[in-house]
Structure 1
Amino acid sequence: MPDHFNTPFRRLAVGNRDEFTQPGAIKAAVAEFISTLIFVFAGSGAGIAYNNLTGDGPASPSGLISASIAHAFGLFVAVAISANISGGHVNPAVTFGLFVGGNITLFRGILYIIAQLLGSTAASALLIFVTGAAVPTFGVAGISVWSAFVFEIVATFGLVYTVYATAVDPKKGEIGIIAPIAIGLIVGANIFAAGPFTGAAMNPAVAFGPALVGFSWANHWIYWAGPLIGGGIAGVVYEVFFISHTHEPLSEF
């Protein structure tokens, strides 16, 4: 822990519009698109497969286990394959949390988020094409809308805090080697906790693609506001209390 507390938002960087055309930024955006496509195809595809095997049966513990494992494994791979190109965000909430901490510029962050939303939409469209089935959308069950909102905030806080601790912190040392699997595992664990109540999106892009192709927007705001707030809080907390940037320039993780 640094000897002093950092000032919140002191490292925010807007960047410039030229980043939209820089080869490195475009490559990073393509990597985010592909990683998000892979993640959503696996995660949502597992949901379709489960519904197919059970004849659209009711939610069950085995379905929850299937969703948790599919998303944990899928995110592990999605982060790992893009980490050296874009930082492996695969999630607008992660991108926003890193922007708040000064680890990515606003313009590059916008480029990443656009790519993530397109990747999720493409994955959802592909799933409809190959399976002929509707892609499951996220929804609230068994709790109030505001409880679901808090659930998404807390779950995403845990995710983005894990990203900071294992991938962003310059003192991470050898723990950085397991960052992708740690990030996948916290998502899998949070699905066990929040899945039956909110679907445990923790990721606006994951909710956006299925909602767009199915044109189902019930309580969709929860899956933007909750993750962005949770990710932003995690970025501020870790940046203020734990990170020392004395010799570290602005960069993506």
Structure 2
Amino acid sequence: MPPRRFAFGRAEDAVHPDTMRAALSEFIATALFVFAAEGSVLSLGKLYKDTSTAGGLVVVAIAHALALSVAVSVSLNISGGHVNPAVTLGALVGGRISLILAVFYWVAQLLGAVVAALLLRLATGGMRPLGFGVASGVSEGHAVLLEIVMTFGLVYTVYATAIDPRRGHLGIIAPLAIGFILGANILAGGPFDGAAMNPARAFGPAVVGWRWKSHWVYWVGPLVGAALAGLIYEFLVIPDETPRTHQPLAPEDY
């Protein structure tokens, strides 16, 4: 295994316009995603008293898949289209992004999720965001394992279609592929723990709706799964001789 290339980044990167643009892109994209995703859950609850049905699960999965595909598409050329602190961590451990830029991404993603949940509560006349929770009969340990596996699949897909230098024309369908794996995982894990796979997606509704029960599950699981996916793909799947290009591609001369 080649030595890991963690990049701390330069001090001037923190105030460079490219960093600001990338962070703004992550903020907007994450807000768009969380607004549409959590909004689909609230609208389903508005239409039906009991949302724990097979049809409701499919609707929510499709809404999440479409929202994430769009969010990745609109931010891919600017920030790399992470829209997820776990994806950013996966890129960080693989040496594809500097620590300074990762911190900016994390702050932007969390703020975007909170703003989206707040706007959603205001726009729906005060409806309290539902967020995520572990289902009855499912232990928190099992939920963490489920989040690890699902997030591993999500971040592995991100690496294969959006980060891998050999992706070629496959990069064109990256947003669609990433959205599909998210929707499929929701169908698989939604009835058990809601299938977050994204700490920001869980954090925004938790803050605005003030629902914190088992919230740690949606941090530990996704972050562990993302780190494993980044390490495995970066150091076991990508050949050693493959040039490393950090995402997003920043100018060399600033």
TM-score using structure 2 length: 0.94
| Counterpart pick for 2:112 among 108, 116, 119 | 119
Greater displacement, 237-246 / 76-85: 237-246
Give the counterpart letter for 2:216 in structure 1: W
| Counterpart for residue 67 of structure 1 | 60
Deviation at 1:207, TM superposition (A): 0.2
Query: Where do 1:70-85 residues align within 5 Å?
Result: 70-85=63-78
Could you tell me whether the CA contact under 8 Å between 2:109 and 2:200 is conserved in 1?
yes
Aligned equivalents of 1:193 and 1:147: distance in 2? 14
- 2:24 aligned with 1:30: yes
* 1:174 matched to 2:169: yes
- Counterpart CA distance in 1 for 2:167 and 2:236 is 15
Aligned counterparts of 2:198 and 2:242: Cα–Cα separation in 1: 32
- Residue deviations 1:126-170 (CA, integer Å, cap 9, x gap): 000000211111000031110000000000000000001111111
Q: How much has 1:19 moved relative to structure 2?
A: 2.1
For these two proteins, the number of residue pairs brought into alignment is 246
Are residue 201 (structure 1) and residue 182 (structure 2) matched?
A: no
Q: How does 1:207-246 map to 2 (within 5 A)?
A: 207-244=202-239, 246=241
Q: TM-score, normalised by structure 1?
A: 0.94
Amino acid at match of 2:186: I
Deviations 1:207-244 (Å, cap 9, x if unpaired)?
00000111211111110110000000000000111113
The alignment status of 1:47 with 2:38, answered yes or no, reads no
Percent of aligned pairs with the same residue? Answer: 52
Deviation of 1:58 (Å): 4.3
Q: Deviations over 1:154-199 (max 9, x none)?
A: 0000000000111111111111110000000000000000101111
Alignment of 1:95 with 2:88, yes or no, is: yes
Cross-structure match for 1:3: none
Q: Which region of structure 1 is more displaced relative to structure 2, 57-66 or 207-216?
A: 57-66
> Quick one: which amino acid aligns to residue 241 of structure 2?
T
1:58/1:184 CA distance change after superposition, 3 Å: closer
Residue 20 of structure 1 is matched in structure 2 by 14
Structure 2: distance between partners of 1:100 and 1:140: 28
1:245: how far off? Answer: 5.6
Please, which runs of 5 or more residues in structure 1 have no aligned partner? 1-5
Cα distance change of structure 1 residues 169 and 82 upon mapping to structure 2, 3 Å threshold: same
Give the secondary-structure state (helix, strand or coil) at the position aligned to 1:18.
helix
